Amino acid sequence: MSARFAPAAVSLKNYLVMTYVLFIGLTLGVLTVVINLFTGVIFNALIKDNIAQKSEEIVRAVGSQYSGRGFDARSIEAMGMYFVHEGYIVTVEDEAGRVVWDARSCDMRQCAAVLGRIAERMEGYFRLDGAVQTRRYPVVYAGRTVGTVTIETYGPFFYSETETKFLTSINRLLLMAGVLCALISAGVSMALSRAIALPINKAGEAARQIAKIHSGGVNGERRTIRIQDRYKTRELAGLAGSINALAEELEEGERRQKRLMSDIAHELRTPLTCLQGDIEAMIDGVYMPDRKRLESCHEEVIRLITLVQDLNTLTCLEWETAPLNKTAFDLAKLVRAAITPFASAALEKGIELRVNLQESPIIADYDRLKQVFINLLSNAVAYTDRGSVTVAIERPHEPFLAAQETPLAAHRWSVVVADTGIGIPADDLPHIFERLYRSDKSRGRGGGKDGGAAGGAGVGLTIAAAIVHAHNGTISAVSPGDGGAGSVFRVSL
């Protein structure tokens, strides 16, 4: 087994960091723009209200300088020059339209300088285009209009120096907060991405070590690879568990492969040794090549051929290359045909054969299924010294099938083969369907439920399971494991 691991263009850690930083950066950028726009709209509305209120305040101040006979021009001039420094160019006229005081006439250069600074500030720093706007307000005294105040300002609105400093401070604060949040988010992103990428890197490294070990790249070192960390994140814990399960499965598969090779070698060694001994004895003249000796050699050859054929059949079934000749027939008829050859053997041993069959139409491979039940009955009779062997066809208790109206739902059956024989030890029960496995090692590999007669090759149950699985069915076995308790095999189709 070999594996290639192509190097990634970008590591997962860097990819996650870039993703987090990009996402947080975009979020901060959008948030900053929204806050800036929202603040600008509110602040500009407030500035417009302040300008309107200031204009009304100027009108009231000018009106307070009217004494009934006329305006106090000197007082208005003092107030007017103060208003000019604040960005308000004031002109006062009496009720006849004569100019009482005009800021431009008083100090044209000062007025131009103030408006110029405001325009430079608004257009240069804040990128807000505007122009000088003029508004006229009446001056009311004792219920009658006694004059008019004309106020020129930069419009539609303008920021004073204090307001400009306030906005500049707000923008700097937002910028500093954005930079600080970006730095914090980058640190958190790196820590979070490391926490995510590290377990994945460990899993990848473990997978590479497993691939190297089981492909023969590592000779005898670190045969056990496990991820020891216990992650609190469900997905990471599942990944670590999957890698560990994969390692366990591969190690178990390797152990099974070695045991299989050892068992096959043992099964082949015995008949070949017998053949070698008999043939060498006949060559040396120790034995005469008579019919009895030749028949003995022939039996060993047949045993070898049978083992090879069984292994080949099993391989074809497991790799789904053996075709199934499916036809419609009665499962009860097939079971009766499988029982018939064992009637005399059961009678000789004093075993009672109990049969409880019912009509059970099915579509399957007749010969293959017959091989399954012959195998199960052969084991049941061979390893039962007293009592009985029971064969029954049952309908599985599955309520959801009753609601189905398809032929597939109507034709679902279980065949149960139960005996009162020697049983199967609990430690061996999970392995009885494995190749060349026997539960009773003390009998010289010939006396357990091995899937054939005593002394068989140990692949009978494995072939039976493969045939059942090829029919999309299930086969299972239960056994209390005490002497005489027996075993129960169930085949569901």
Q: What span, in angstroms and rounded, lies between the C-alpha atoms of 362 and 317?
A: 20
**Per-residue pLDDT for 133 more than 80?**
yes
pLDDT one-digit tens code per residue, 299-343 = 888 878 877 877 777 777 766 666 788 999 999 999 999 998 898
> Of 474, 472, 477, 473, whose CA–CA distance to 489 is shortest?
477
pLDDT at 403: 41
Name the residue with higher pLDDT: 128 or 2: 128
Report CA-CA distances (Å) from 491 to 18, 79, 331, 476.
57, 110, 12, 7
Q: What span, in angstroms and rounded, lies between the C-alpha atoms of 79 and 99?
A: 16
**Per-residue pLDDT for 221 more than 80?**
no
**Per-residue pLDDT for 5 more than 50?**
no
pLDDT at 335: 92
pLDDT at 454: 39
Tell me the pLDDT band of 488, cut-offs 50, 70 and 90.
very high
pLDDT at 475: 92
- Work out the average pLDDT over 355-360: 91
Report CA-CA distances (Å) from 355 to 332, 352, 362, 367, 418.
10, 10, 19, 21, 11
- Work out the average pLDDT over 446-450: 40
Tell me the pLDDT band of 223, cut-offs 50, 70 and 90.
low
* Four-CA torsion 374, 375, 376, 381, nearest 10 degrees: 80
pLDDT at 285: 82
pLDDT at 489: 93
**Per-residue pLDDT for 415 more than 90?**
yes
Q: What totals of helices (H) and strands (E) does the chain contain, helices first?
A: 13, 11
Whole-number percent of the chain with pLDDT over 70: 85
Q: What span, in angstroms and rounded, lies between the C-alpha atoms of 385 and 350?
A: 8
Q: How many residues does this entry show for the chain?
A: 493
**Per-residue pLDDT for 231 more than 60?**
yes
pLDDT at 392: 93
Round the average pLDDT of the chain to a whole number and report it: 79
Residues 6+ apart with CB under 8 A from 182: 21, 24, 25, 28
DSSP 461-489: HHHHHHHHHHTT-EEEEE---STTT-EEE
The tokens for 479 are 């056994």
pTM of the shown model: 0.48
Angle, alpha carbons 201-206-212 (nearest 5°): 125
pLDDT at 212: 78
The tokens for 198 are 């590290």
- Work out the average pLDDT over 391-396: 86
